[in-house]
Amino acid sequence: MLARANRIVRADDYRNTVRRGRKSATAHSVVYVRRHDDAGVRFGFIVAKTVGNAVVRNTVRRRLKHVCHELLPSMPPGTDIVIRSLPGSDSVPWSTLLKDISGVVDKVVKA
């Protein structure tokens, strides 16, 4: 699980990252990345009702948190990352999810 210091919790931070950050997409998610002056790396998740019912949405969110926990050591400090899950993301195999998210995050962070 991600520590509170590694999570985006304020609505303003979500809004700024989505509106002002760089964006890249896969078939099952959209990733927004924004640099900031703080030292920490923070992740946020948007899983809408179009993905499924509450059980499905929470499962998708837990899977995304686990992916981000694995990516955390390789992220540069001062980065906010928001992952928006798209419909159908609940049926993506773990290996595909990990590969897609890590590839997109690396691409956007290094751009």
CATH no. for residue 91?
3.30.230.10
User: What domain count does the chain have?
Assistant: 1
- Per-residue pLDDT tens for 41-96? 999 999 999 999 999 999 999 999 999 999 999 898 999 999 999 999 999 999 99
Q: Using the predicted structure, report yes or no on whether residue 8 has a pLDDT greater than 80.
A: yes
How far apart CA 88 and CA 43 sit, in angstroms, is: 21
The reported pLDDT for the residue numbered 30 is 96
* Cβ atoms within 10 Å, residue 85: 24
Q: To 10 degrees, what angle do helices 94-110 and 54-71 make?
A: 60
109 contacts: CB under 8 Å, gap ≥ 6 = 33, 75, 76, 79, 81
- Per-residue pLDDT tens for 38-51? 888 999 999 999 99
| Weakest mean pLDDT among 30-39, 90-99, 102-111 | 102-111
Domain boundaries, position 22: 4-110
How far apart CA 17 and CA 33 sit, in angstroms, is: 6
